[in-house]
Structure 1
Amino acid sequence: MSAHFSVAETTPVGTALWAACLERLAQQLPEQQFNTWLKPMVIQWAPDASKMTLYVANRFKLDWVRAQYVQSIASVLEQIAGHVVAVELAITPRQSPENSPLKASRNEKASTFESMESLHTQADNVAAQPLTPSDHRHRLNAALTFAHLIEGSANRMARAAALHVASHPGQLYNPLFIYGGVGLGKTHLMHAVGNHLLETHSETKVLYIHAEQFVSDVVKAYQRKTFDEFKQRYHSLDLLLIDDVQFFANKERTQEEFFNAFEALLAKKSHIVMTSDTYPKGLTDIHERLVSRFDSGLTVALEPPELEMRVAILINKAAAEGAEMPEEVAFFVAKNVRSNVRELEGALRKVMAYSRFNQKEISIQLARDALRDLLSIQNRQISVENIQKTVADYYKLKVSDMYSKKRPASIARPRQIAMYLAKELTQKSLPEIGEMFGGRDHTTVLHAVRKITAERQQLTELNQQLHLLEQTLKG
């Protein structure tokens, strides 16, 4: 079999299925993971589209994709195709120095260093390049700027801090630590910092990387005995932007090297911006001295966007695609897609594709039809009763406490949290929510919603509890 086949040579049905599968997986996975592991794969379909073979570069990638992604790929393909699709993996056949026995022997010896780190990212990541002193390619996405970032209360503080760093690097808020759930704009904000700084100071040495890439670079420096080049590269930066530092967990050698890079950069007044899925002290299996450094600057949270912000995002994204999104439709979609920007964009793509396919203008009914599956899942999974039970279980209360007249703080506080979640995650009105909480007045619900909203911005522990409850409720 030739090593030079491409997706274009597969069956039209298979090509369409894979394109639809990739679109759905892009909404479910972090951008870095999707771009590194799934997007580069070459595929080949059986003539009847009953089986798909995924070709990857080497044995490590084959084992990693099989363990981490094959089940999800097969499940998505079955949902789209309406029948089971067999998914097989194979190594792309090729003969080159990279696959020579000498190269393999060298890799086997290097793999004795920290097996967990080596196992996680020893594969040659697509973005990885040999480390040289002059290699300061910033890896920024020029489209991700402050101008293209919709501002709202959910990201206002983080955006202001990031803009200050981009305008005055090396001064306040160093390091800047941004945390939040998937799809809330952490990566966009980091790229915006780098792009803004390069626009005003083009000579600045800027680098954006994912934490997995840093792990990979550490492993390669050990494999090639090129630590001088590694240190020269990272320690000479003016701005380091590093995504998802939670991936450093359990990687002792990587944590040590990052600590050294961190200290070197701060000593020369370079700036460091990091993102994570949790606040510094919430990180697990990260050395305390590193957590302390993460927490020594400014830590800001990105929240799920509020309704008005979601509406603005939809209208702007649609306009960028050359489509007009009526405001009432944007409100309808925004009320039903609440969790993050990535899911919001996915819903918008579905509505626009449905409009083009059916040659109909975008309307509320068209949006309802296009998002039928999404609305069905939400209506089935999230109800006020389910929220009450989930919150009661989390805080070790009786469900009856949610609507009783008892008022001790140990009950009143979780009850307010449940009211807040009911307002955020269901379509119920304030009076309807009040009725389901023991016949309380709608002003009581409004007070609870405003109180928890304000405290969520200030109390890290509460914010984490709410994130966990929201994830549990959304399944």
Structure 2
Amino acid sequence: MSNLQNPPTLNSLNPLGFWDNALATLARELSPQQFKTWILPLSLVSYDESEQSLVLGAPNRFKLDWIKKTFADRFQDLAGQYFGHPVALSFVLDVEGSGTQTTNSSAPKEVISPDSPVVQDNISIEVEEQTFEIEDHSKLNPNLTFETFVTGKANQLARAASIQVAHNPGTSYNPMFLYGGVGLGKTHLIHAIGNHLLKEKPGARIRYIHAEQYVSDVVRAYQQKAFDRFKRYYHSLDLLLIDDIQFFSGKSRTQEEFFYAFEALLSNKAQVIITSDTYPKEMAGIDDRLISRFDSGLTVAIEPPELEMRVAILMKKALSEGIPMSEDVAFFVAKHLRSNVRELEGALRKILAFVRFHGREVTIDVARTALKDLLSIQNRQISVENIQKAVADFYSIKVADMYSKKRPANIARPRQIAMFMAKELTQKSLPEIGELFGGRDHTTVLHAVRKIGEERTHDGQLNHEIHVIEQTLKS
């Protein structure tokens, strides 16, 4: 930690000391998902030493309100500890990401100055270009194919678009942008596209790369004065698959190089496929011209899997492990674990390990015993009350409106969404849910569940809003 008696002067262009300190502390205190969802998107907008005031920015109104309610006191404490005196802390909307943005120290850091300690510590900038190497192979996982991808309503559009791109790369839907939460199948689909093209055209130049690795390649190219070689490689690809592009946030040099690569690939009719956890226009710290390019192709959301799809995933994966799972057991597990495929796979591993160790058959009681800790956490995390609060916060209404008899559209619709989510995410019956919404009849709840469920099938914006609220509840 820097000297508390002589803290560095901060401004929007030179974020030192406090911000790195705060990020490091919160990374230790919070879960990785909480840190990624709420803290990483924030920016240090300014620090005025004379007025002892500190301004932090959030990329959208929802995150701004949540941060102010949930983390304002903690940031206030961290600022007071670091500067050695009380600091006037305020939060602003920083949609453009114009404040100073930093990332977790474990992520690759972009180096744009030869005086940077990253350059000095890791490698001399006088290294000859000949030493700069990029692994010239696809890095595709051969097990991730369209045949091994379980399809349902939540991902059928994304799968159909991916198959179309695989058959017509560079002509259909270029670029293609897939977005959705962790563990929903984005990475599987883009590997499937790459594997299909590699099978059809073994000589095609294909590269799958995570955004963090691309940042590292930019850093090395800068350090070694090897941008010509860097550009020649990336501009010559037939298919570029880049995962989790939100990691480009705040890295201006990386974004600039990617923009040039993007333009070169599209002009060569090469295919570009991008994934992110966020809709393009909601990504913080990404240059507008890049967001505009992302929006110029096809943007497809992958939603959390619905019940039937979760059941199919469990049964298929259990069968592939040589231990068939009956439909009733799969329904039991799927009803309790709703967020993503990775969570389902983790639960299945627990059940199979329990069965193999104890020599038991897969039954509901066995599944309940094997997953008792996980089920306890799930039941504790999500309640109707939590759903009501999250929905009210998202739509900027009062929690009390959830129970009231008011019926204007700006209240009635969020209330219906909350009822739908209560039925989806909890084990409460329709009458129990109705009682928690101000004593409403179960037929009112049933109407809301059917109405919102039907609208989700064709309303992308509603789908996205429900997805964001779910991620909030599970973070």
Q: Is this a same-fold pair by TM over 0.5?
A: yes
Q: CA deviation at 1:409?
A: 0.5
Q: CA deviation at 1:401?
A: 1.9
Aligned ranges for residues 207-286 of structure 1 at < 5 Å? Answer: 207-286=207-286
Instruction: Name stretches of at least 5 consecutive residues in structure 2 with no aligned partner.
Output: 1-20, 32-110, 124-129
The question of whether the paired residues in 2 share the 8 Å contact of 1:114 and 1:253 is answered with no
- In structure 2, the partner of 1:197 is 197
In the aligned structure 2, how far is the partner of 1:261 from the partner of 1:207? 13
Q: CA deviation at 1:307?
A: 0.4
In the aligned structure 2, how far is the partner of 1:221 from the partner of 1:412? 55
Q: CA deviation at 1:219?
A: 1.0
- In structure 2, the partner of 1:57 is none
Greater mean alpha carbon deviation, residues 148-157 or residues 214-223: 214-223
In the aligned structure 1, how far is the partner of 2:387 from the partner of 2:143? 39
* Equivalent residue letter for 2:145: T
The question of whether the paired residues in 2 share the 8 Å contact of 1:279 and 1:460 is answered with no
In the aligned structure 2, how far is the partner of 1:457 from the partner of 1:296? 24
The answer to whether 1:176 aligns with 2:194 is no
- In structure 2, the partner of 1:376 is 376
- In structure 1, the partner of 2:412 is 412
In the aligned structure 1, how far is the partner of 2:252 from the partner of 2:444? 50
The question of whether the paired residues in 2 share the 8 Å contact of 1:117 and 1:251 is answered with no
Distance change >3 Å, CA 116–CA 208, structure 1 → 2: farther
* Equivalent residue letter for 1:300: V
* Equivalent residue letter for 1:236: S
In the aligned structure 1, how far is the partner of 2:259 from the partner of 2:455? 33
Q: CA deviation at 1:180?
A: 0.3
- In structure 2, the partner of 1:45 is none
Q: CA deviation at 1:437?
A: 2.4
Deviations 1:264-285 (A, max 9, x none): 0000100000000101101111
The answer to whether 1:350 aligns with 2:354 is no
The question of whether the paired residues in 2 share the 8 Å contact of 1:111 and 1:118 is answered with no
The answer to whether 1:155 aligns with 2:155 is yes
The question of whether the paired residues in 1 share the 8 Å contact of 2:184 and 2:303 is answered with yes
TM-score of the aligned structures, taking structure 2 as reference length: 0.72
The question of whether the paired residues in 2 share the 8 Å contact of 1:116 and 1:251 is answered with no
Distance change >3 Å, CA 264–CA 377, structure 1 → 2: same
Distance change >3 Å, CA 176–CA 111, structure 1 → 2: closer
Distance change >3 Å, CA 147–CA 69, structure 1 → 2: farther
* Equivalent residue letter for 1:219: V
Q: Report SS of the residue matched to 1:147.
A: coil
In the aligned structure 2, how far is the partner of 1:111 from the partner of 1:285? 17
TM-score of the aligned structures, taking structure 1 as reference length: 0.72
The question of whether the paired residues in 2 share the 8 Å contact of 1:183 and 1:342 is answered with yes
Q: Report SS of the residue matched to 2:275.
A: strand
Q: Report SS of the residue matched to 1:192.
A: helix
The question of whether the paired residues in 1 share the 8 Å contact of 2:303 and 2:467 is answered with no
Aligned residues: 369
The question of whether the paired residues in 2 share the 8 Å contact of 1:435 and 1:441 is answered with yes
- In structure 2, the partner of 1:302 is 302
Instruction: Name stretches of at least 5 consecutive residues in structure 1 with no aligned partner.
Output: 1-62, 74-109, 123-128
Which of the pair is proportionally richer in helix?
A: 1
In the aligned structure 2, how far is the partner of 1:391 from the partner of 1:361? 41
The question of whether the paired residues in 2 share the 8 Å contact of 1:174 and 1:272 is answered with yes
The question of whether the paired residues in 1 share the 8 Å contact of 2:314 and 2:330 is answered with yes
In the aligned structure 1, how far is the partner of 2:269 from the partner of 2:118? 30
Distance change >3 Å, CA 115–CA 414, structure 1 → 2: farther
The answer to whether 1:143 aligns with 2:167 is no
The question of whether the paired residues in 2 share the 8 Å contact of 1:171 and 1:269 is answered with yes
Q: Report SS of the residue matched to 2:147.
A: helix
* Equivalent residue letter for 1:112: S
Q: CA deviation at 1:118?
A: 7.3
The answer to whether 1:389 aligns with 2:389 is yes
Q: CA deviation at 1:460?
A: 5.2
* Equivalent residue letter for 1:422: A
Q: CA deviation at 1:389?
A: 2.9
Q: Report SS of the residue matched to 1:428.
A: coil
Deviations 1:209-249 (A, max 9, x none): 00111111111111222222111110011100000000111
In the aligned structure 2, how far is the partner of 1:184 from the partner of 1:331? 19
Q: Report SS of the residue matched to 1:362.
A: coil
* Equivalent residue letter for 1:451: K
Deviations 1:296-329 (A, max 9, x none): 1000001000000000000111111111111111
- In structure 2, the partner of 1:26 is none
The question of whether the paired residues in 2 share the 8 Å contact of 1:307 and 1:334 is answered with yes
* Equivalent residue letter for 1:395: Y
The question of whether the paired residues in 2 share the 8 Å contact of 1:337 and 1:344 is answered with yes
* Equivalent residue letter for 1:254: T
Distance change >3 Å, CA 240–CA 116, structure 1 → 2: farther
Q: CA deviation at 1:447?
A: 3.3
The answer to whether 1:469 aligns with 2:474 is no
Q: Report SS of the residue matched to 2:352.
A: helix
In the aligned structure 2, how far is the partner of 1:452 from the partner of 1:306? 14
